Amino acid sequence: MTNTQTLQSLFRPFTLGKLSLSNRTVMAPMTRQKSPNGVPGSDVAAYYRRRAENGVGLIVTEGTVINHADSSNQKDVPYFYGEEALNGWANVVSEVHDAGGKIVPQIWHMGARGNVNEYTEEEIAHIVQEFANSAAAAKRLGFDGIELHGAHGYLIDQFFWEKTNQRTDRYGGSFIARTTFAAEVVKACREAVGPEFPIILRISQWKGIDYSAKLVGTAEELKQFLEPLVNAGVDIFHCSTRRFWEPEFEGSELNFAGWVKQLTGKPTITVGSIGLDGDVSTFFTTGSGSGNASLDGLIPKLENQEFDLVAIGRALLADPAWVSKIREGRVEELIPFTPQSVQTLY
Ligand SMILES: Cc1cc2nc3c(=O)[nH]c(=O)nc-3n(C[C@H](O)[C@H](O)[C@H](O)COP(=O)(O)O)c2cc1C
């Protein structure tokens, strides 16, 4: 495990406008289906509070869905609309802030049940408005920003990906036109929250149904893909990969977050197997755990400012105190990520 001396770059503060984080660690969004009837209860607030108390710089909540008929197909996933659910979220914010943490909700629509080609323009406009309504609610409740879930094959990503978007109107046709829906969502959210409220957009090349999928094949294409999203008002890109150390394109060591930062000038969050020796697909496909791994490969990249923030998923599920243990060099006390540890500490 990495010596605490070398971990300084992980524990430097980060500031972007009004968003001020005490360090570079981010809790990755992780669905947990613990909100009966869509309402997050006090147990959900306690779950996030535990991570805040243990020094996580920024918590991104589990995906929480907008108000639309297709937005959720999983039981007990929290809503981000309606008085009862929003009251639940207000309590989550207050517990996290009380513990000195920062938190943004991950605003989610799980995707078209048929496919995005069947949505009328009117339906699309309605969905865009519901994203904006949730963004406005996040600001009203005192969240520190929002994250829009544009990754992993869910609705926004269904518009991005050529396999799921064969529209011939302005929402489809080329990889640039396929950003139109996301750009409209970001713009509507920006209008709803004003210029200073941070908007994070999570994107990924990989899809839940195809780990080898690619939205773009070159850095030049990535640049063109990102431009409309930057213009729409994204503040931070959360670049989802399964293994943070993998170069995104040939001829450079930069990972996905590294490229996105270089091409947009925007801060980025990296993610994928940080502190673990197996990637998330092993958990999704076989339900198996992963062992702890050194942070040695991560730190030089952070020091070089290849990216700005570092999201941790499964390691923080298994061990709510992961950040404080890493900071204090108590690595032998880390709770390993096993299906059992997740069951008990979720
Ligand atoms: C149980 C579980 C639930 C997840 N749910 C979400 C989610 O709601 N939204 C999302 O963007 N990613 C989700 N992910 C992906 C994580 O945010 C993260 O990108 C992934 O686990 C890789 O990070 P890790 O290797 O540190 O675990 C989930 C992952 C896990 C393990």
Domain boundaries, the chain: 5-283+304-345
Which of 80, 109, 280, 309, when mutated, tests ligand 1's pocket best, judged by the most ligand atoms within 8 Å of its CB?
280
Name, in order, each residue with C-beta under 8 angstroms of 127's C-beta and a sequence gap of 6 or more: 66, 68, 109, 119, 155
- The CB of 273 under 6 Å from ligand 1? The reply is yes
- Ligand 1 touching residue 153 (CB < 6 A): no
Q: Which atom of ligand 1 is nearest to the CA of 242?
A: 22
Q: Which CATH architecture has domain 5-283+304-345?
A: Alpha-Beta Barrel (3.20)
Task: Confirm or reject: Cβ of 272 under 6 Å from ligand 1.
Answer: yes
**Cα(183)–Cα(189) distance, rounded to whole angstroms?**
10
Supply the residue whose CA is at minimum distance from atom 15 of ligand 1: 30
Ligand 1 binding pocket includes 270 (Cβ within 6 Å): no
151's enclosing H/E stretch is strand 146-152
Can you give 271-325 as a three-state secondary structure string? ECCCCECCCHHHHHHHCCCECECCCCCHHHHHHCCCCCEEEECHHHHHCCCHHHH
- CB neighbour class for 207 (10 Å; exposed up to 12, middle 13-18, buried from 19): buried
SS (H, E, C) 220-274: HHHHHHHHHHHHHCCCEEEEECCCCCCCCCCCCCCCHHHHHHHHHCCCEEEECCC
Atom 13, ligand 1: residue with shortest CA distance? 30
pLDDT of residue 113: 85
For the Cβ of 106 lying below 6 angstroms from any atom of ligand 1, the answer is yes
Give distance in angstroms: CA of 318 to centre of ligand 1: 13
Furthest-apart CA atoms within the chain: distance in Å: 56
Is the C-beta atom of 105 inside 6 A of ligand 1?
A: no
Where does residue 333 rank: exposed (0-12), middle (13-18), buried (19+ CB within 10 A)?
A: exposed
Active site residues per annotation: 154
pLDDT for the residue 48 = 98
- Quote the pLDDT of residue 305: 97
pTM metric for this prediction = 0.97
63 CB within 6 A, ligand 1: yes
DSSP bridge partners of 15? 20
Which ligand 1 atom sits nearest the alpha carbon of residue 152?
A: 11
Q: What is the pLDDT along the chain (346 residues), one digit of tens a residue?
A: 455 558 999 999 999 999 999 999 999 999 999 999 999 999 999 999 999 999 999 999 999 999 999 999 998 999 999 999 999 999 999 999 999 999 999 999 999 887 899 999 999 999 999 999 999 999 999 999 999 999 999 999 999 999 999 999 999 999 999 999 999 999 999 999 999 999 999 999 999 999 999 999 999 999 999 999 999 999 999 999 999 999 999 999 999 999 999 999 999 999 999 999 999 988 888 888 888 999 999 999 999 999 999 999 999 999 999 999 999 999 999 998 988 877 655 5
Query: Is the CB of residue 148 below 6 angstroms from any atom belonging to ligand 1?
Result: no
Q: Tell me, what's the pLDDT at 345?
A: 56
Among 27, 30, 238, 274, which is best to mutate for testing ligand 1, by the most ligand atoms less than 8 A from CB?
Answer: 30
Residue nearest to atom 10 of ligand 1 (CA): 29
Q: Is 340 helix (H, G, I), strand (E, B) or coil?
A: helix
- Nearest-10 Cα torsion for 130, 162, 115, 134: -10
Q: Tell me what pLDDT residue 6 has.
A: 83
Give me ligand 1 centre to Cα 29, in Å: 6
Residue nearest to atom 28 of ligand 1 (CA): 30
How far is the centre of ligand 1, averaged over its atoms, from the C-alpha of 28 (Å)?
6
Q: How far apart are CA 44 and CA 32, in angstroms?
A: 10
Nearest atom in ligand 1 to 240's CA: 19
Q: Which residue has the tokens 């963004």?
A: 135
Q: Are 153 and 192 in contact (CB under 8 A)?
A: no
The answer, yes or no, to whether any atom of ligand 1 lies below 6 A from the CB of 28, is: yes
> Residue 285: what pLDDT?
84
> Which CA distances in Å does 43 have to 92, 246, 300, 346?
9, 36, 37, 10
Look up residue 8 and give its DSSP letter: G
